[in-house]
Amino acid sequence: LFTKVITFYSHFTPTRTAANCPFYLAVPTLASVKHHTPNMNFLRKAATTGAMGLVPRNGRPTILRHSSHFVYQPDAKPPVEGPTQKMNMFQAINQAMDLALEQNESALVFGEDVAFGGVFRCSMGLQKKYGKQRVFNTPLCEQGIAGFAIGVANTGAKAIAEMQFADYIFPAFDQIVNEAAKYRYRSGNLYDCGSLTFRAPCGAVGHGACYHSQSPEAYFAHTPGLKVVVPRGPNKAKGLLLACVRDNDPCIVFEPKTLYRAAVEEVPVAAFESPIGKADILRAGTDVTLVGWGTQIHVLQEVATMAKQQLDVSCEVIDLVSILPWDKETICNSVKKTGRVLIAHEAPLTNGFGAELAATIQEECFLHLESPVLRVTGWDTPFPHVFEPFYIPDKHRCLAGIRKLIDY
């Protein structure tokens, strides 16, 4: 157990201050760990909490060490008027599921380790509030989770199913692609499972390697009958999740796990929905269009500032938000204005969703382009562990891409 906890601690720095993190109190420094006798009472307590130090003592939002590859840019203002509460992304997701369970008695939340709060604490407190019949654990069997979710949704109930990591959604691929997505079509609209939402933590997190870092949105973007969204922060996470729960089609919400604690902003307390299929223009510009989603949008916002300061280049930053369906009109209108576009995502280059954007831009905006469409993405390799900083499309690679577009 001691080895597991120390290994976990070596990958995460859950908080910036010692007062908030029991690991700083129990283990003075990593370099001196081997010279100290492990505090077994602390380790037992850490093991029973389920998160092993991820949740600070005071319950305040925390920040992951890996957030150093981007600077989180909170939304300028809440999406709707009314009382707000400062929360991080996992708290916003928790509140969205709380509202879904409260407003619809048929709603169920389930998945691996969901009952105690989940590995990222997104379902914390929900079983205690709504009972074991509505919030419960499942076996470690993703295809079983998906199949059960389809059955629940087919009865008209609201099913919110968690895939513990997006990397492990592939065993459920057949159920999602061949059953959930096609149910309405193959029954001639007699039946559907539109009340179905899958949640899946995705993306780079600083230590996940090839089985806890993938961004598989492109696999599902090729599937008619599904809707696929990726939030950039707490407001979008809450609004998109509630929109998916109430949508008439099965939906997948890919949640960038590094944002669970790194993303903090004022979020409306009341229920609200963010539109599926609508991109957000976060910064207006005239020279280059920058398109991304999830964590990458924060990289692009920082890059836009760097481009203005270093190159005197004005960048328009667009958060695609929705992968399927995606907002062609907003993207194409921007590219027709700027004549240059850079698309960035963490998934590998070949057949990443950026390729679909690039193809459509070429078809719709060809006569307006001043340079070829440029993609800055992950490499065509399995996601690395030690070399992750060289894999992700960080601000330096994106800025170099802007230089290439301008110099073309």
**In angstroms, rounded to a whole number, what is the distance separating the alpha carbons of residues 283 and 75?**
11
CB 181 within 8 A of CB 250: yes
Contacts of 349 (CB under 8 A, 6+ apart): 355, 375, 377, 378, 379, 380
Cis-peptide, bond into residue 372, ω within 30° of zero: no
**In angstroms, rounded to a whole number, what is the distance separating the alpha carbons of residues 232 and 236?**
6
Query: Could you tell me whether strands 227-229 and 322-324 are parallel, antiparallel, or unpaired per DSSP bridges?
Result: antiparallel
Name the catalytic one among 142, 179, 217, 265.
Answer: 142
Query: Could you tell me whether strands 288-292 and 341-348 are parallel, antiparallel, or unpaired per DSSP bridges?
Result: parallel
Tell me how far CA of residue 217 lies from CA of 23, 59, 322, 368, in angstroms.
35, 32, 10, 29
CB 197 within 8 A of CB 109: no
Q: How many other β-carbons are positioned within 10 Å of the β-carbon of residue 113?
A: 16
Verify whether residue 316 is a known catalytic residue. Answer: no
Q: Where are the beta strands (DSSP E) in 8-151?
A: 84-88, 108-111, 135-137
**In angstroms, rounded to a whole number, what is the distance separating the alpha carbons of residues 164 and 120?**
9
Verify whether residue 212 is a known catalytic residue. Answer: yes
Name the catalytic one among 212, 255, 302, 388.
Answer: 212
Summary count for the chain: helices (H), strands (E): 16, 14
The full DSSP string for 192-260 is --TTEEEEEEES--SS-GGGS----HHHHHT-TT-EEE--SSHHHHHHHHHHHHTSSS-EEEEEETTHH
**In angstroms, rounded to a whole number, what is the distance separating the alpha carbons of residues 62 and 262?**
7
Known catalytic residues are 142, 212
